Chain A
């Protein structure tokens, strides 16, 4: 019985902590978005609820829960109710394979700081991300509203196109690392190249600069963020697929979008910025657990930077036109990703053959 408890208690704790952190982060991302947008437009942003407006997400949450949950009469009821859940659940499942730290040693047991160490890591994330599209167009169709339908159609076309480029942009990195296990990928990036006086960490960005750029573009499109937020373009489609939604159901769409952003930022960190790896930390001779915790902090900082980038870009760039978006995907990003795969394969072959 004890052995059983030792096996499962750390897993349950990890699940609960990760769930709590992701949901809280989601709430505070909404505040961050409003604050940063305010600063970029020379305003103050929300600053009345608590110190610096820090309780604003809580107030928003309470407001969402207490609003009347209206279901319009002409909607397809089952799908209308199901759609927000279909969007939120895949988003919440996505981050469980992402390693947020090295191992902790507690009472003689080694606990990997990752909820599930799956060999197919990245493929699992793609499989789950592919399911979230159902929530979008089910919402669009079930609302029985032409704006919602157009938003749903746009979103399904966009998601299918950019899922492809998202996968292809990572193929180069997968070729370099030779594994699809995310923990192994981070381990392969913990090292340095010594070029004379310079010491460069072995991060994926230095091996796959083009891959990183393409991944970033696809990640923005996949999480429906500006400049690619055509599915909900408010000045042409009212609100896109969630026009007819209110109260907590609307909040669930919102949460799904932000959790998708967190997953994409964490993926970018894992693949291209060394995950939890801190350059030069090994020289400090910290104990194993302290180094692991520093790694978790580094992972959070790097992910936080990408989350800031998402917000920064949203309030800087204007929106694409829909045909521009699709031609960017199929005529720009897709061939470039193919070229990246080809170049990577060629370089790897040359490296193994002649070095």
Chain B
């Protein structure tokens, strides 16, 4: 019956699409084609998660990566709107060949180990609730609570850093929020001041109110 082999067929189809999409991201010149290939790759990986019964992870992959992150990439690509002339011709440099060689050798070293690491489920496969919202939530807020919270702090730190870098010249007069406080602190320490502004400040009488 076709239903018995359908998961295998789908696995190979989406695995091919995932790898093909990733390769196309690396080799294409047009940034829009690269982004579209990235979407194909990301969605194929999401479908592979579905095939493994990890439904929540699959949906999260679709919402976060395909729905938000690649959209931001494409946003930037559209704003730049580079033409083929500006992009120039693709060249095969020694650096790229070296990189490809390095990537392939890492794969060759890791691949045998990966095969032996995967242990097959002894019988019957996962239960019906496996991979659902409740089950993932229980793991995330139970057994893996500490790593989960640490990851969120890491993401928060990255976000604050992004805002501070983007607003480095906008030192606020009064402190409204944590971000303002951080900006003021950075200004006090003058670590993030752009060079022109520092010169201007040193060149002045030095007595003005900051």
List residues of chain A with CB under 8 Å of any chain B CB: 76, 79, 119-120, 123-124, 126-131, 133-134, 137-138, 140-141, 149, 152-153, 156-157, 159-160, 163, 180
Given A76-B32, A119-B132, A120-B55 in contact, is the A130-B78 Cβ separation under 8 Å?
A: no
Which residue from B63, B71, B77, B79 sits with its C-beta under 8 Å from A123?
A: B63
Which residue from A119, A133, A138, A160 sits with its C-beta under 8 Å from B133?
A: A119
Q: Pull 10 A–B residue pairs with CB atoms less than 8 Å apart, ordered by A.
A: A79-B32, A130-B67, A137-B74, A137-B75, A137-B78, A141-B77, A149-B78, A156-B71, A156-B75, A160-B72
Binary contact readout B36-59 vs A (1 if CB under 8 angstroms, 0 otherwise): 100100010010000000011001
List residues of chain B with CB under 8 Å of any chain A CB: 32, 36, 39, 43, 46, 55-56, 59-60, 62-63, 66-68, 71-72, 74-75, 77-79, 81, 132-133
Which residue from B71, B75, B79, B133 sits with its C-beta under 8 Å from A120?
A: B133
Closest 10 pairs (CB-CB, A-B): A130-B67, A127-B62, A123-B59, A127-B59, A127-B63, A119-B132, A141-B78, A180-B133, A120-B59, A120-B55
B residues near A180, Cβ cutoff 8 Å: 133
B residues near A133, Cβ cutoff 8 Å: 67, 71
Chain B residue with the shortest CB-CB distance to A132 = B67
Residue contact B62 to A130, C-beta cutoff 8 Å: yes
Interface of B is mostly: helix
Chain A residue with the shortest CB-CB distance to B1 = A4
A residues near B72, Cβ cutoff 8 Å: 160
Instruction: Give CA–CA (A126, B56) in the complex, Å.
Output: 12
Residue contact A141 to B63, C-beta cutoff 8 Å: no
Instruction: Give CA–CA (A138, B43) in the complex, Å.
Output: 17
Residue contact A123 to B81, C-beta cutoff 8 Å: no
Q: A79-B36, A129-B67, A134-B71 are in contact. List 15 more A-B contacts (CB 8 A).
A: A124-B59, A127-B67, A130-B63, A130-B68, A133-B71, A134-B39, A137-B71, A137-B75, A137-B78, A140-B78, A149-B78, A153-B78, A157-B75, A163-B67, A163-B68
Which residue from A128, A131, A149, A156 sits with its C-beta under 8 Å from B74?
A: A156
A residues near B75, Cβ cutoff 8 Å: 137, 153, 156-157
Residue contact A152 to B78, C-beta cutoff 8 Å: yes
Residue contact B132 to A120, C-beta cutoff 8 Å: yes
Most buried by A among B60, B66, B67, B75: B67
Instruction: Give CA–CA (A126, B63) in the complex, Å.
Output: 7
Most buried by B among A134, A140, A141, A159: A134
Chain B residue with the shortest CB-CB distance to A130 = B67
Residue contact B56 to A120, C-beta cutoff 8 Å: yes
Most buried by A among B46, B71, B72, B75: B71
Instruction: Give CA–CA (A127, B46) in the complex, Å.
Output: 11
B residues near A126, Cβ cutoff 8 Å: 59, 63, 67
B residues near A149, Cβ cutoff 8 Å: 78, 81
A residues near B81, Cβ cutoff 8 Å: 141, 149
Residue contact A160 to B55, C-beta cutoff 8 Å: no
Residue contact A131 to B67, C-beta cutoff 8 Å: yes
B residues near A129, Cβ cutoff 8 Å: 67
B residues near A119, Cβ cutoff 8 Å: 55, 132-133
Chain A residue with the shortest CB-CB distance to B46 = A127
Give A200 Cβ to nearest chain B Cβ, in Å: 29
Residue contact B56 to A131, C-beta cutoff 8 Å: no
